[in-house]
A and B are shown apart, each in its own frame.
Chain A
């Protein structure tokens, strides 16, 4: 871990204005911000850990616990809301047996909600591991998760 964070830090000058880009880069590499990472960042920038946390916790992008292998993000923006986004979310919750912000017990899936991914014309949408899925229905959610699991099992 520590070396990844140090590698990231070395790309930036020790300037507070780099705090958010550093947090983003560390999270991109490590998938979340561990307390060790926060501590490294605070030492590097010469600001308190408290200060780092206070900034990081303000922005919904940052996570402080390790997410699952795959991330499902369901859009609950206006266009998706009026075209059935809530039913998409309910289906994902039921299939994975978790609520937004949680990770399945086997560490496979995390569930998040977003307030618009900018594909509103294709509403309701969700994102599975960075791939935007359009015109979702409860049935399509079930099929998608099934085929993801099948693809994984076949790969093993």
Chain B
């Protein structure tokens, strides 16, 4: 058990933060916040506090997901609810100290929302369109707690699920996860319980547990935000998985482009070790487990599980044939469970609330919630967690606030380089693993990039095939040469050198690459081309037949070939 003393202390400290005797200031310091200038906000507020001789406590939190409002600050003044302020500058941030903390002016002009009832014209934060259609489970702590302080996580119920798991049988936990219907959120959507069961049943030791935080899809940052804003939820999920399966060693594979995520996870691991949640005989049980961080080294294909294994073993990140699956033969030939960051972050809530609760949300075949990074040509860009089955329209227009600058919506790209582009006709499509696959795209890991009328769909297809041909590991011919061929054809089309036969050749190449590639990279690489041909054939025709780029993107085809500056 986490000592009762520690839990009680954590809870009373949290109580003194949420119902404080001195002002509490929370500054969003995840990558988005920092890029938007959170550090200078921090300094400005700190010096304003000193100058005005005000005693207050400053907490660094992660990201609330409302990245379009960064830099953001929350303030709890004694006796007042938590109020979130948006798009601050060092000047307006210091004004908050004098105006609000000293003079009691809520500054509704700078406020985004109140964590509770409307106040002085400031709306309820969770009643805002961006928030009200969300169901936050895995993301429940992001932007709320300080990710570098385990006691805040514990105070919010953290590690209770793990304690509960330790008190029951391994089989029981696996059954519960299986019954919940949770499917992997790393891209493939494989049922998590089945994967755990296969690994549990394999009689070979030691067993390994890997958290896949490679997040290679460009345009996606859900995993980064979770790691930066609530690393303990991922660790707790890993602990539960490792206990259920019988793993003694774990790795978190984080891409090297995420230095802050790596740093926060390292801090979280140290803290769990300190409190006896990692190491030998965890919480005085028979279960021993430890975790090491491995940094990726800039290869997209290493997100694929067998390539990831090769990379941890110290080799070139080349995928291999499956079966055998890692659950039977993974790291150094031993049974290995690999799960995505978001999958793991869902586990504690399933153990706490039970399988039925989890399965009660979402659709028949896709349970629970989906987490997306909503970006591109949409007004409210950020991180969202929505029930499976929600329509694309609700996400883009209600949560996202629609396409800005009076432009027209053209398509939404999901699933990154393995996914596709869905047109306006499909705005009412419910989001779920199967519906997206039927439409030619995939759920993927959760990137959702909105494209407007200024986007050329042939250029988008070219962009993804360029990515695929660069990132192909080169091992199998269909992927190595096929994606290159496809890229060159698309490149020709965008340069005005398209031929009548090009679309047919693209379709034929796609077909053979999909059928014969060794791994998922090749098998899904044609998706962006297939969906753009399926839904935007007219744009291909315009480029090829009329030598025109309807969106005015392809420089060679704009103004009769004159490059427009």
Q: Which residues of A contact B (CB under 8 A)?
A: 16-21, 23-24, 54-55, 58-62, 76-83, 114-123, 125, 130-134
A21/B215 in contact, CB under 8 A = no
Q: Which residues of B contact A (CB under 8 A)?
A: 31-32, 34-36, 67-68, 70, 215-221, 224-225, 256-259, 294-300, 311-317, 373-377, 381-383, 413, 416, 447, 449, 451, 455, 460, 463-464, 467, 471, 473
B375/A121 in contact, CB under 8 A = yes
Given contacts A61-B298, A115-B467, A122-B70, 4 further A-B contacts (CB under 8 A): A115-B216, A116-B217, A118-B258, A121-B381
Chain A residues with CB below 8 A from B463, complex form = 78, 81
Given A16-B314, A121-B68: A79 and B219 interface contact (C-beta under 8 Å)? yes
A62/B377 in contact, CB under 8 A = no
B376/A24 in contact, CB under 8 A = no
A60/B299 in contact, CB under 8 A = yes
Residue on B with the closest CB to A54? B316
The 6 A-B pairs with the shortest beta carbon distances in the complex, nearest first, are A77-B218, A121-B67, A78-B219, A59-B297, A132-B35, A118-B221
Chain B residues with CB below 8 A from A131, complex form = 35
B313/A17 in contact, CB under 8 A = yes
A/B interface sample: 7 pairs, CB < 8 A: A20-B295, A78-B218, A81-B460, A118-B220, A118-B258, A119-B32, A125-B35
A40, chain B: closest CB distance, angstroms: 16
User: CB < 8 Å: which of B67, B381, B383, B416 contacts A78?
Assistant: B416
B208, chain A: closest CB distance, angstroms: 12
Q: Once the chains are docked, how many angstroms separate the CA of A81 from the CA of B417? A: 13
- Using a Cβ cutoff of 8 Å, how many contacts connect chains A and B? 132
Chain B binding surface, main DSSP class: mixed
B308, chain A: closest CB distance, angstroms: 12
B376/A83 in contact, CB under 8 A = yes
B134, chain A: closest CB distance, angstroms: 16
Q: Once the chains are docked, how many angstroms separate the CA of A52 from the CA of B527? A: 35
B313/A122 in contact, CB under 8 A = no
B35/A133 in contact, CB under 8 A = yes
Chain B residues with CB below 8 A from A77, complex form = 218-219
B215/A118 in contact, CB under 8 A = yes
Residue on A with the closest CB to B63? A121
Chain A residues with CB below 8 A from B374, complex form = 121
Q: Once the chains are docked, how many angstroms separate the CA of A77 from the CA of B460? A: 11
Residue on B with the closest CB to A120? B375
A120/B314 in contact, CB under 8 A = no
Q: Which of A24, A59, A62, A131 has the most CB of B within 10 A?
A: A59
User: CB < 8 Å: which of B67, B218, B381, B455 contacts A115?
Assistant: B218
Chain A residues with CB below 8 A from B451, complex form = 82
User: CB < 8 Å: which of A62, A83, A132 contacts B297?
Assistant: A62
Q: Once the chains are docked, how many angstroms separate the CA of A134 from the CA of B317? A: 31
Chain A residues with CB below 8 A from B259, complex form = 130
User: CB < 8 Å: which of B216, B317, B460 contacts A58?
Assistant: B317
A119/B31 in contact, CB under 8 A = yes
A78/B413 in contact, CB under 8 A = yes
Residue on B with the closest CB to A122? B35
B340, chain A: closest CB distance, angstroms: 15
Chain A residues with CB below 8 A from B221, complex form = 116, 118-121
Q: Once the chains are docked, how many angstroms separate the CA of A61 from the CA of B447? A: 23
A122/B297 in contact, CB under 8 A = no
Residue on A with the closest CB to B374? A121
User: CB < 8 Å: which of B31, B314, B376, B460 contacts A118?
Assistant: B31
A21, chain B: closest CB distance, angstroms: 7
Chain B residues with CB below 8 A from A60, complex form = 297-299
Given A77-B219, A116-B220: A18 and B257 interface contact (C-beta under 8 Å)? no
B375/A61 in contact, CB under 8 A = no
B316/A115 in contact, CB under 8 A = no
Residue on A with the closest CB to B456? A82
Q: Once the chains are docked, how many angstroms separate the CA of A80 from the CA of B376? A: 8
Chain A residues with CB below 8 A from B32, complex form = 119, 121-122
Q: Once the chains are docked, how many angstroms separate the CA of A83 from the CA of B382? A: 15
Chain A residues with CB below 8 A from B258, complex form = 118
Q: Which of A21, A55, A77 has the most CB of B within 10 A?
A: A77
Q: Once the chains are docked, how many angstroms separate the CA of A17 from the CA of B313? A: 5
Residue on A with the closest CB to B228? A118
Chain B residues with CB below 8 A from A132, complex form = 31, 34-35
Q: Once the chains are docked, how many angstroms separate the CA of A58 from the CA of B464? A: 20
Chain B residues with CB below 8 A from A115, complex form = 216, 218, 300, 467, 471
Q: Once the chains are docked, how many angstroms separate the CA of A72 from the CA of B426? A: 39
